[in-house]
Structure 1
Amino acid sequence: MLQNNLFLTSNVDDKNKFIDYVNRAANTIADSYTDSRAYSGLTPQELKELIKETPLLPESGIGFDSVLEKVKRIVLPNLLKVSSTDYMAHLHSPPLMESLISELILATGNQSMDSWDQAPIATEIEVDVINQLCEIYNLPKDSDGIFTSGGTQSNLMGITMARDWFCNTKLDHDVKLLGLPQEYNKFRLYTSEVSHFSVEKSAHLLGLGYNSVIKVPVTNDQKMNTEILRDLIIKDLESGFLPVAIIGTVGTTDYGSIDDLETLSEICQEFGIWLHADAAYGSGLILSQTYKEKISHISKCDSITVDFHKMFLLPISCGAFFLKDKTNFSHLTLHADYLNREEDEEEGYTNLVGKSMQTTRRFDALKVWMLFQSLGKKSLSDTIDKTLNNANYFYKMVDSNPNFQVVTKPEISSVVFRYSTNKLSDDQVDTINKRIRRELIHRDGIVIGQTIFDGRVFLKLTLLNPLVEHKHLDNLINVILEKSNYN
């Protein structure tokens, strides 16, 4: 027998129950923040044992109170506290308070962004937000965009658009209707050797394969070497290959390096190639009054990936994809009588599914809409500037310390470094750095990243939290040196 008060409705009892649930959940969540540690320290094995006691689907439900109590005991204490100043590991931001409320609203409303009649006001807000974001990124009036789940989906869309545009304009071939052309195994996509793995993943999903992706060497500052890129394109053309797109990175995952979009645009113009910018990380710089010139050439790109759940400090997931020429969205458009009827669109009803790879899609535009208006340009700029200033400070501290080795000066807010000493072999130093990271997680509740550079193990900070102060960074250096046993 179903219980009463299942949903939030206009009924007074339903409203009261909703308010009660939200208040109790909010209090339980807030009470779980008992210290500044980023993580409780439990190992994978300990977490598995903790979860074992709870069957997923009991014969009879145990009720909200009992479930909330289990969440309080098992889940909340062991969640990663991404708002902690001790969390500095990944492109995984602490969500700003205002955006948590927008999540509650969009989850409660549960709008589906595929058709206007499933999301009337949500559709109109997303269209308006996209239009204003196009202006913020200095895109032309014929540009357009769509909200996505994040960088991987946006990059897939960008490479899909590049492939179909190339086939239509260069080969007079309609991929949407006919599938891949016979020449598909000659297609080439160029990206730096430190770009995001979603480029290769996209090539696989699009039927082009990993071998179509040419990984271009980088300079010492971890940017795509444009001279080598140009030579590779010329050699490929001479060998009968078909250059389709260049994928420039605006903030590589490890180093935060920004490829030279101006030169990449010139190369694309010279050879008739599509330019996609993976700006999932660095797109937030557009809001900085101090650092926005770092990405001033992003408007030259044919397509752009933006993530709002990174530098913009919004909850996962919230991304967007932009096209300089909105007519290229036609590569995705397909009409269905039950969803996006052409007659409705002719009368002014916007059905966003025609621009998206997703059908059911969340009203994530609300998070941007509420946050931007709540904080405004000055606060958002100051927030982003703080993270870049922190990265520069940490870089100077470790670069000047003989106990550390640093890869490159940060361009955004990531620093790749490691404890190093000539008293030990490289293999021994690798082992020490691995141990340091594990001990930080499980003994100190401090979470930092780890990566590989030049075949060796390095540690990584990705500083997105504006609450991090120099004292936190100084403390981290001291703790690492203490754990190295060779300070």
Structure 2
Amino acid sequence: MAGVLGLPEGSGGVLTSGGSAGNLTALLAARQAKAGFDAWNGGPTAGPPLTVLVPESTHYCIARSVRMMGWGSEGVTPVPVDARYRLRPEALEEALAAAKRAGRRPIAVVASAGSTATGAFDALDAVADFCAKHDLWFHVDGAHGASAALSPRYRHQVKGIERADSVVWDAHKLMMMPALITAVLFRESHRSFEAFAQEASYLFNGQDTRRWSDVALRTLECTKEMMALKLYTCLSTLGTKLFADSVTDTFDLSRRFAERLQSSGDFELAVSPDCNIVCFRHTPQGIPTSELDALQVRLRESLVTSGDFYLVQTTLGGRVWLRTTVINPLTTDEDLDALLNALRRAV
């Protein structure tokens, strides 16, 4: 997986149970590498308060992780996003300055490759440039979208991911594996031991003699199932083309769905999809704008209760949107047309 992303020789990682655990693991490694003090043994008060720069659209587990590490709410410094909910690279300098003015030591930037709400892909190369300039850890939350690297048609969306210090990639999303199988990948493989090490990197200068197979030294879990077996068996038996074709077909299908929403006349598209996450809302004639948010809530409840379709909802720009993740490889254009017709009947 590290090789597919373009990470260099010497990279490596570990499998863990879900994106939340994966992102926490990566941030713990970032803390050991960049804090400048031994927070593992001394705690968060052993040095200046830390923070990470994070796009406003990032998954909630990042804020949860920094709170678990004892950094408090200001452990996350938000970075504005643009109209497509992508991190604005030009806003990073001011976010960095704001964190320092607040008395915080920034140690990392988190970028998204397939954000949870809309599936947005941040400009990873630009973030990598910023991190290199300021000696910050560069982490990519690619839990959902890192699989784009498998697709020749959509690989460009993760350009720059090969420059990351750490990447989280969920195989149980676009690689069709059973949950949970999350890879936490590190540009320097020994960093995976540092996340839970008893000493910081500056104490042993990156020298590591521990075996890669000592998984309990590198993950939150002690006892866990052999999740690698499922992924390895599929890759060794089927190769990567099946998964590459699935990613490409799913992204294509989502784009066709977005085009039908735009041309429908009674649906509104939140943003053109970067991947397989599509946010939209039903806007039938005769419904006042002030009632559209409540309508989306009722529509979702109606469809989920009926059992025919499953939708979630999200809030973007202060408005409620329906959100679908086109991820089942058996989903067709006809299925998505049926979804729209079911929403029309449910009004």
- Whether these two folds match at TM > 0.5 is yes
The RMSD of aligned alpha carbons is: 2.0
Per-residue deviation, 1:238: 5.0
Deviations 1:137-179 (Å, cap 9, x if unpaired)? 2111121101100100010011111112112xxx3x2223333
Q: Which has the larger radius of gyration?
A: 1
**Which of 54, 59, 62 is 1:191 aligned to?**
54
Q: What are structure 1's unaligned runs of at least 5 residues?
A: 1-132, 336-344
Q: Deviations over 1:263-304 (max 9, x none)?
A: 001110111111111100001112212212211311111011
CA contact (8 A) 2:14 2:192 kept: no
Deviation at 1:439, TM superposition (A): 1.5
- 1:260 and 2:128 are equivalent in the alignment: no
**Number of the residue aligned with 2:39:** 175
Matches within 5 A, 1:33-44: none
Greater Cα offset, 424-433 or 145-154: 424-433
After superposition, the Cα gap between the structure-2 partners of 1:181 and 1:404, relative to the gap in structure 1 and judged at 3 Å, is same
Alignment partner of 2:111 out of 248, 251, 269:
248
Is 1:304 aligned to 2:167, yes or no? yes
Aligned residue in 2 for 1:453? 316
What's 2:185 paired with? 322
Query: What SS does structure 2 have at the residue aligned with 1:244?
Result: strand
Where does residue 402 of structure 1 map in the other structure? 265
Aligned equivalents of 2:221, 2:23: Cα separation in 1: 14
Cα deviations across residues 459-484 of structure 1 (Å, max 9, x unaligned)?
A: 11100112111111112112212222
**C-alpha distance in 2, partners of 1:377/1:162?**
31
1:23-172 matches, within 5 Å, as: 133-167=1-35, 171=36
Distance 1:425 1:434 in 2: 15
> Could you give the per-residue CA deviations for residues 340-373 of structure 1, whole angstroms, max 9, x where no partner exists?
xxxxx78x79422222222112210011111112
**TM-score, structure 1 normalization:** 0.66
Aligned mate of 1:286, from 149, 157, 168: 149
Q: Which has the higher helix share?
A: 1
How far 1:248 sits from its partner (Å)? 0.6
1:393 deviation in Å?
A: 0.6
Q: Distance in 1 between matches of 2:263 and 2:283?
A: 13
Q: Aligned in 2, Cα 1:455/1:203: closer, same or farther, shift over 3 Å? A: same
Deviations 1:394-424 (A, max 9, x none): 1000112221111110001011000125633
Contact 1:426-1:456 at 8 Å conserved across structures: no
Decide whether aligned partners of structure 1 residues 398 and 183 sit closer, same or farther in structure 2, where only a CA change above 3 A counts: same
CA displacement at 1:329 relative to structure 2: 3.1
Match of 1:467 among 330, 340, 343: 330
Residue identity in the other structure for 1:224: L
| Distance in 2 (alpha carbons) for counterparts of 1:360 and 1:435 | 42
Q: How big is the shift at 1:447? A: 1.0
Counterpart residue identity of residue 31, structure 2: R
Q: What letter is aligned with 1:213?
A: V
Q: Name the SS for the 1:408 alignment partner.
A: coil
Trace 1:326-365 onto structure 2 (pairs within 5 A). Answer: 326-331=189-194, 332-333=196-197, 350-365=213-228
> Following superposition of structure 1 onto structure 2, how do residues 474-485 of structure 1 map, counting pairs within 5 Å?
474-484=337-347
Equivalent residue number for residue 241 of structure 2: 378
Tell me by how many angstroms 1:183 deviates: 3.9
State whether structure 2 residue 286 is matched by structure 1 residue 423. Answer: yes
Q: Is the 8 A contact 2:40 2:198 kept in 1?
A: no
The one-letter code of the counterpart of 2:30 is A
Unmatched segments (≥5 aa) in structure 2:
200-208
> TM-score, length-normalised on structure 2?
0.91
Taking structure 1 as reference, are residues 316 and 349 closer, same or farther at Cα in structure 2, changes over 3 Å only?
closer
Q: Which amino acid aligns with 2:158?
A: I
Q: CA deviation at 1:250?
A: 0.7
Paired residue type of 1:398: L
Equivalent residue for 2:90? Answer: 227
Q: Is the 8 A contact 1:413 1:462 kept in 2?
A: yes
- Please name the residue that 2:78 is paired with: 215
Contact 1:252/1:258 (8 A) holds in 2: yes
The 2-side partners of 1:181 and 1:142 are apart by 33
Contact kept? 1:201, 1:210, Cα under 8 Å: no
Structure possessing the higher relative contact order (Cα contacts under 8 Å, 6 or more residues apart): 1
Alignment partner for residue 277 of structure 2, among 414, 421, 443?
414
Counterparts of 1:458 and 1:366, CA distance in 2 = 38
Q: What one-letter code is carried by the residue in structure 1 that aligns with 2:308? A: G
CA distance in 2, matches of 1:413, 1:253: 11
Contact 2:38 2:46 in 1 (8 A): no
Find the counterpart in structure 1 of residue 204 from structure 2: none
Question: Which residue identity lines up with residue 402 of structure 1 in the other structure?
Answer: G
- Classify the secondary structure of the residue corresponding to 2:77: strand
- Decide whether the 8 Å contact of 2:44 with 2:71 is kept in 1: no
Aligned partners of 1:144 and 1:326 also within 8 Å: yes
Alpha carbons of 1:349 and 1:275: their partners in 2 closer, same or farther (altered >3 Å)? closer
